[in-house]
Amino acid sequence: MSKVVVVTSGKGGVGKTTTSASISTGLALKGYKVAVIDFDVGLRNLDLIMGCERRVVYDFVNVVQGEASLKQALIKDKRVPSLFILAASQTRDKDALTKEGVGKVIEDLKADGFDYIVCDSPAGIEKGAQLALYFADEAIIVTNPEVSSVRDSDRILGILQAKSKRAEEGEDPIVEHLVITRYNPARVEAGEMLSVDDVIDLLSVPFLGVIPESEQVLNASNSGLPVILETESDAAEAYEDVVARFLGEEREQRFLTEEKKGLFKKLFGR
Amino acid sequence: MALLDYFLGQKKKKSANVAKDRLQILLAHERSARHSPSYLPKMREEILQVIAKYVDIDPEQLSLSVDEANGVDVLELNLVLPD
Ligand SMILES: Nc1ncnc2c1ncn2[C@@H]1O[C@H](COP(=O)(O)OP(=O)(O)O)[C@@H](O)[C@H]1O
Ligand SMILES: [Mg+2]
């Protein structure tokens, strides 16, 4: 059974693309056949984060408009065998995607035997974001512990519950998951940042985990590596946990508290 | 220092708590607006016109909402009359 998973947030710059790249890579590492689609038409970035920007010949819009076949446009990942990327168009405008066209591509991917189709949503709550979530079976809500991000997540939840295909056709609702990214435990402890419990309380969405604020995310994106593949990185381990929990595994939460520095470290630095 | 922080902390509410309180109010408001029937804004206008025939009111003072209570939908109308 194929599953369509949208990674969405309302607000921009919260970590959707970072999360889409790492979760799709993580699912493929578990042996699933995964396609990750960049819905951010005009502002494509997923190809850069996945490190395949120089191999994009045809994109999602070309396929939707019948100018290329899915086979021609899907880019096979160089590191993980069962992972494929469908890049967004750099040049077209947002209206180049239609509901029918996107629906057809998703149907074709299902028929091709993809287990997971991960949709990296553009920012906003308008047409582009609505199209990215329309066909979803599950949603990963990416939220930063910050007022405008929480508010926008709540608005996108409203759209998931009212304007998705599942909602319109009266099927079971989209299964929602919360991922809190760019989490800074020290600032939470200082009372300067909303805590995980605060955000869960406010949004009431089942929680997959936190991704700590980490320099490794920038390093990874510099080299075109999904951060989950970065060795010895908190962010990589956090994404690995999130993927496992998404697949139903029970794992204790980590990275919620600041690593306490011992007296020695306090006195002599690191 | 820690002791000082403790006393200061007692006085000044932590900004994360302020954020949470504000969001709680805002999200509740936005959710009820999302779930309210689509005729509500127009009905609100018409009710205001009727009331304005009799009393001089500030339109801002009228709050109108549909809430669920004990399994039934309740139309709640609240209006503060001028002195
Ligand atoms: N956990 C994190 N720690 C530090 N920086 C992060 C983290 N997650 C994302 N970022 C950075 O935030 C910026 C926006 O991330 P991106 O995934 O492109 O967001 P979106 O797709 O929601 O717009 C990028 O510069 C990215 O490197
Ligand atoms: Mg993005």
Residues 24-53 of chain B whose Cβ lies under 8 A from any Cβ of chain A: 24, 26-27, 30-31, 34
Which are the contacts of A21, defined by CB distance < 8 A and separation ≥ 6?
A: A36, A46, A49, A50, A120, A226, A227, A228
Average pLDDT value for chain B: 83
Whether chain B has a CB inside 8 Å of the CB on A194: the answer is: yes
pLDDT in tens, B40-58: 889 989 999 999 999 988 8
Q: How far apart are CA A81 and CA A84, in angstroms?
A: 8
Task: Reply yes or no on whether the pLDDT at B10 is more than 80.
Answer: no
pTM of the complete model beyond 0.80: yes
pLDDT in tens, A5-35: 999 999 999 999 999 999 999 999 999 999 9
Q: Which residue of B has its CA nearest to A154?
A: B27
Whether chain B has a CB inside 8 Å of the CB on A192: the answer is: yes
pLDDT in tens, A154-171: 999 999 999 999 999 999
Phi, psi of A198 (to 5 degrees): -60, -50
Residues 200-229 of chain A whose Cβ lies under 8 A from any Cβ of chain B: 201-202
Closest CA to A5 of A68, A28, A98: A28
pLDDT in tens, B19-31: 999 999 999 988 8
Q: How far is B72 from chain A (nearest CA, A)?
A: 21
Closest CA to A167 of B28, B32, B34: B34
Atom of ligand 1 nearest to the CA of A213: 3
pLDDT at A267: 58
Q: How far is A135 from chain B (nearest CA, A)?
A: 22
Question: What would the mean pLDDT of A231-237 be, rounded to a whole number?
Answer: 94
Whether chain A has a CB inside 8 Å of the CB on B14: the answer is: yes
Complex ipTM: 0.85
DSSP H helix total and E strand total for chain B: 3, 2
Phi, psi of B76 (to 5 degrees): -110, 125
Which residues of chain B neighbour A192 with C-beta distances below 8 Å? Answer: 14-16
Q: How far is A192 from chain B (nearest CA, A)?
A: 5
Atom of ligand 1 nearest to the CA of A45: 18
How buried is residue A46: exposed, middle or buried, by Cβ count under 10 Å (0-12/13-18/19+)? Answer: buried
* Type of residue found at A21: A
Report which of residues B59 and A199 the model is more confident about: A199
* Type of residue found at B73: D
Integer-rounded Cα Rg, in Å, for chain B is 20
Closest CA to A135 of A265, A6, A1, A268: A6
Question: What would the mean pLDDT of A244-262 be, rounded to a whole number?
Answer: 88
